[in-house]
Amino acid sequence: MKFIHTADIHLGASPDRDLPWGEARRLAVYKTFEGILNTAREEKTDLLLIAGDLFHRPPVLREVRELAALFSRIPDTQVVLTAGNHDHLYPGCAMLSLPLGENVHLLDSQALSSVTFPSLKTVVHGFSYHQPGHPAPFPASVTAPKDGMHHILMLHGGDEQHLPLSFDALASSGFDYIALGHIHQPRLFERCPMAYCGSPEPMDRTDTGRRGYIKGSIDDSGVDFRFIPSASGEYRQVTITVNPASTSAQITDLLREKLDHSEKYFYRIILAGERGPDIRFDPEIISMAGQISDITDRTVPSFDIDRLLEEHSHDLISHYIRKLSGGTETEKKALFYGLAALLDPEG
């Protein structure tokens, strides 16, 4: 039995919508999902598991019709899905109003329920969110029935407000595979057949690193699963350590040289180190170096302490310097921040 495990597709999301590549990112979310369905069709995948947050928000009728049309492209694949915190169900919602297709099984109950596929010798268990939150933890007492069938558990959550999970309890629950969703970073557990597949595309600039889904198989000899990269875009974080001589133009040149300018990569830039006391880095200029989503300036101004003590021997500045000249890195930072405020001609 071959399966694909995905979650957190967030159809309808528009990552980086305020940036020049926003439209391309919006389309990538759709295209990558379409690509997973194509893979399921080409490889005759038996089971497609979608562990919550297929949509970015509860879908409207139009979106559910489009989804049903997409699922009709893979009639030989059984689709099991649950609603997550983003696309939670509610009475009369579009997801519950329209048929999704004969091959599609929405585990719509708030309580754990299941769907059985006798020809696959497989039972899939899961539940759907009916609210945007789920502070109640998943009961540690749930275990897989021992009836000769393969049992798969789908869960969406794992943080404090969304189904707190005990991974230890899940590891000994006896399920043949546990398909987790909600956390966008992929995580394959080593001690047991359990994985967060992660989102197929990064959803925002904090989603750094690779993104994809899980492909696996279960038979009487056991389970096998691996991560398959699928994202057409990737956010990367790059730290530039400046020195007192650095300028915005120099950093821009450095980044132009250092960054991979493939369309695939989007960069979050962190500036660290000591900048010249009269330097203010201009994010607009630095952003011209490539596909830069945001810049965080963590630099501290550098001061010539001996010269300042001499120049300000009779005022507040020298008093302040003496008070904070402890020598630890934290004290130095505090001293420099304070001096920047005290000496700032515009402040």
Among 39, 85, 122, 128, binds Mn ion (CB under 5 A): 85
Report the residue closest to Mn ion, judged by CB.
182
CB contact set of 175 (below 8 Å; sequence gap of 6+): 125, 144, 151, 152, 153, 193, 194
Among 58, 59, 84, 212, binds Mn ion (CB under 5 A): 84
Given the complex with Mn ion, which of 16 and 53 has the nearer CB atom?
Answer: 53
Instruction: Work out whether 332 is an interface residue with Mn ion (CB under 5 A).
Output: no
Binding span for Mn ion by CB under 5 A among 42-50, 54-62, 80-88, 105-113: 80-88
Given the complex with Mn ion, which of 132 and 283 has the nearer CB atom?
Answer: 132
Given the complex with Mn ion, which of 84 and 200 has the nearer CB atom?
Answer: 84
232-251 residues in contact with Mn ion (CB under 5 A) are none
Buried b (16+ CB within 10 A) or exposed e, 107-119: bbeeeeebeebee
Binding span for Mn ion by CB under 5 A among 93-101, 138-146, 178-186, 235-243: 178-186
Calpha distance 177→152 (Å, rounded) = 5
Q: What mask of x and - would describe binding to Mn ion in positions 40 to 69, judged by CB under 5 A?
A: -------------x----------------
Among 5, 10, 134, 182, binds Mn ion (CB under 5 A): 182
Given the complex with Mn ion, which of 14 and 250 has the nearer CB atom?
Answer: 14
The distance of closest approach from Cβ of residue 228 to Mn ion in the complex, given in angstroms and rounded to an integer, is 21
The distance of closest approach from Cβ of residue 118 to Mn ion in the complex, given in angstroms and rounded to an integer, is 31
Given the complex with Mn ion, which of 53 and 201 has the nearer CB atom?
Answer: 53
Binding site for Mn ion (CB under 5 A): 53, 84-85, 182
